[in-house]
Structure 1
Amino acid sequence: MNILIIEDEPVTARNLQHMLQDIDPAINVAAILPGVAASVSWLQQNSNACNLIFMDIRLADGLSFEIFEKTKVEQPVIFVTAYNDYALQAFKSNGIDYVLKPYDMEEISRALQKYRKLTGEGLNTGAQEQMVRLLKSMQEQPVYKQSFLVHYREKMLPLEAAHIAWFYTTNEVVQACTLDHKQYTIDFTLEQLQQQLDPHIFFRANRQFIVQRKAIQEVDFFFNGRLLVKTIPEATEKILISKARVPAFKAWMNA
């Protein structure tokens, strides 16, 4: 079996490759690709070079769903992702699986078994059509969180997501700062917020910040290829984009 891995974290991609080959030494990893552009180019030139694709969702240069918009994908896909939302359930219930990070060998092996059971090492026409329908369903507009119920003194207030400039975490407490510079405690982690917020509006800058597009005033160059994001209102600490995250941030800002 020839497998294509689409994953922008090199260590994660190599670990997955070793895991697949430990499960079945006959597996050949045809290529490891880091992003949307590289995947589109490879698939256009090597459309029959793999039987199955393991694919992350959020890549350095965009969402992997863009691949299906730019080129024809005939192979079944197992999504390997840190994001577990309703759309992924469609794949799980229809024979094409997803694996939630962090994963282990048992989960990868189970995903491969599901693929083999569905396809017999190759998709029939009906399965191909089913896969295409499922892929399209994942590209439908998901429902993102529109508001939060927050504690304020002796009350609970609705806080619209559109009015939040940035989220910040320290000592395992997440604060939301509004565009008019009011701060509230939010009962979610940044990881949970990253799944619930519209990725076209909010960007996970680093381990401490999620920032909204409207709050960004300017972006300055910083040491070692990083970027410094300046917001209104001003953040409590520097919002730095790592060198590895810069391409994704630029693609998000240019969207």
Structure 2
Amino acid sequence: MNTLRIIIVEDEAATARNLAHLLHSADDGIFVVTTLTSVTDAVEWFNLNPEGYDLLFMDIRLADGVSFDIFKKAVILKPVIFVTAYNDYAIQAFKNNGIDYILKPFDEQEIYKALQKYNNLFLSGQKAPDTLQIGQLFEQINQLTRSYKKAFLVHFREKLIPVETVKIAWFYTANEIVYAHTTDDRQYIMEYTMEQLEQQLDPHLFFRANRQFIINRYAITEVDFYFNGRLSIKVKPELPERILISKARVPDFKSWMNS
């Protein structure tokens, strides 16, 4: 019987012990070489032992960072099965990249299925994902799961007040000043550019309609066809001017609205 050498990267001791126990229960030919609990330890170990294992079980969030940092500093050539508590969108990213996952909390059956997938994919002669592919996967996960601004601290009548992001109907820029307009029809000056706001706003909630407007999906009341293949967006509170989506941006807007 061939020994399957496994590395566990997990900072929660109880989870790591449980995983090792389930691995041994699923296949008595498994040997857990070591458990690595941090990005720092993992980078050091993989750089010293690039061929010292066959399969890697890896959590995404570690005490000193995210697992993506490991791939920036060490070459990982063997297949990876991720142990994650992420949502369905992140799970879909795993599937699209052909790398398996186990969703916490997991059980023996899930471990067994993940090992079966490893056997089917990689023991049949297929090449393991390279570091670039895994790096791209983590970039997708960062996009899907990173934290976005939940509130902005804005100036109002010589005070600073918090404004919840979900209550902002749209952002717009005029004369090089950026404003936030709220659902209760208040307006505030922002200390960010539109480009900076794009990086801080949840892309599921907000869409960059054009150079002038970023709109909240829940502020949209109507979408009309406009000249030359463009769309005209009506919002609440109402605006005296049209928010136009260019013909080139229409497919992205439709995809966003349907998500």
- The number of residue pairs the alignment matches comes to 160
Q: Report if the CA contact (8 A) 1:87-1:142 is conserved.
A: no
Q: CA separation in 2, counterparts of 1:18 and 1:144?
A: 29
In structure 2, what is the Cα distance between the partners aligned to 1:87 and 1:36?
A: 21
Q: 2:55 maps to which residue?
A: 52
Q: Do structure 1's residue 107 and structure 2's residue 110 form an aligned pair?
A: yes
Q: Deviations over 1:23-69 (max 9, x none)?
A: 11110001001010000001111111111110001100000110000
1:33-182 pair list within 5 angstroms: 33-84=36-87, 86-120=89-123, 124-125=126-127, 127-129=128-130, 132-140=132-140, 141-143=142-144, 161-163=150-152, 180=161
Contact residue 60 and residue 84 of structure 2 kept, 8 A? yes
Alpha-carbon distance in structure 1 between the residues aligned to 2:123 and 2:13: 30
8 Å contact 2:8–2:57 — kept in the other structure?
yes
> 1:136 is paired with a residue of what secondary structure?
helix
SS at match of 2:129: helix
Contact 1:55 1:64 in 2 (8 A): yes
Indicate the percent of aligned positions where both proteins have the same amino acid: 45
* Counterparts in 2 of 1:44 and 1:107: CA distance versus 1, 3 Å: same
Q: Give, in angstroms, the shift of residue 145 of structure 1.
A: 8.1
* TM-score between the two structures when normalised by the length of structure 2: 0.54
Contact kept, 8 Å, 1:80 with 1:100, in 2: the verdict is yes
TM-score scaled by length of structure 1? 0.54
Structure 1 SS opposite 2:22: helix
Give me the whole-angstrom Cα distance separating, in 2, the residues matched to 1:146 and 1:76: 28
1:182–1:16 distance in 2 versus 1, CA, 3 Å: same
SS at match of 2:41: helix
Contact 1:36 1:67 in 2 (8 A): yes
How far did residue 128 of structure 1 move?
A: 3.5
Measure the CA separation in 1 of the matches of 2:147 and 2:94.
Answer: 26
**1:113 aligned partner, one-letter code:** Q
1:81 CA displacement: 1.2
> 1 CA distance for matches of 2:21 and 2:162?
48
Gaps of 5+ in 1: 148-159, 165-178, 187-200, 202-255
Deviations 1:176-218 (A, max 9, x none): xxx73679999xxxxxxxxxxxxxx9xxxxxxxxxxxxxxxxx
The answer as to whether partners of 1:88 and 1:138 remain within 8 angstroms in 2 is no
> Which consecutive aligned stretches of 4+ in structure 1 deviate over 4 angstroms post-superposition?
143-147, 181-186
Distance 2:59 2:25 in 1: 21
Residue 19 (structure 2) aligns with:
16
Amino acid at match of 2:136: K
* Counterpart AA for 1:136: Q
The amino acid that maps onto 1:100 is L
Contact 1:145 1:161 in 2 (8 A): no
RMSD, aligned CA: 3.2
Superimposed CA distance per residue, residues 90-144 of structure 1 (whole angstroms, 9 cap, x where no aligned partner): 32244321111011111111011011100117x644x434x74244232245046
Distance 1:62 1:113, change over 3 A: same
Match in the other structure for 2:183: none
Larger Rg: 2
Q: Distance in 2 between matches of 1:6 and 1:73?
A: 13
Bigger relative contact order, structure 1 or 2 (CA pairs below 8 A, ≥6 apart): 1
